[in-house]
Amino acid sequence: MADILQREHKQKAGVHKSKKASLRVDLTPMVDLGFLLISFFVFTTTISQPKAMKLVMPDDNDTTNHSLAADSKTLNLILGANDKVYAYNGLDIKNIKDLGSDSKSMRAAIIQKKNEVRNKYGKNDEMIVLIKPTDQSTYSDVVNTLDEMLICDVKTYVLMDAEKNELNQIK
């Protein structure tokens, strides 16, 4: 790996000088290590895939009207300012509830609605949640709400704009 080369000097009378040794380092193992590191980083960066939430989009060619649903099967979630969530059932906007900014209260409202739909219709798969972010809500509010849909196993949910009467009701 490394050799020490020494030169021989003839002995002369007088002061003895120390012998100078030159050092020759073999860098072949360092080159091998460099290629191993490069190949490792190339391999690990190409394997990692970006992770994103799966969002199911409707088919543009489907002309049937899927917007018709029973009011008793729908739960409206309005995402307001300061991470606040407001909820009401069906068209009953006068009984809007402030769920606060806690995800547990949103989860409780979703589970309660699922139980109501199950008791009335026999199965809770027909429940529809309408998620309505306002201009004051943040992107993280929407993502947290979509996460709650996955946690509570809500099959059908719609992301839509809040109406004027809903905005007036939460002010």
CATH of the domain at 87: 3.30.420.270
Provide the domain limits for residue 83. 71-170
pLDDT in tens, 49-64: 777 767 667 677 766 6
- The Cα 41–Cα 50 span in angstroms is 17
Q: How far apart are the first and last CA of the chain?
A: 78
Report pTM: 0.61
- The Cα 1–Cα 64 span in angstroms is 77
Look at residue 99 and tell me if it is in a domain. yes
Number of domains in the chain: 1
Encoded amino acid at 99, one letter: L
- The Cα 99–Cα 85 span in angstroms is 5
Cβ(166)–Cβ(78) under 8 Å?
yes
Look at residue 30 and tell me if it is in a domain. no
Look at residue 151 and tell me if it is in a domain. yes
Assigned token pair, 67: 């917007």
User: What does the mean pLDDT of the chain come to?
Assistant: 81
The model's confidence at residue 35, banded by pLDDT at 50, 70 and 90, is: very high
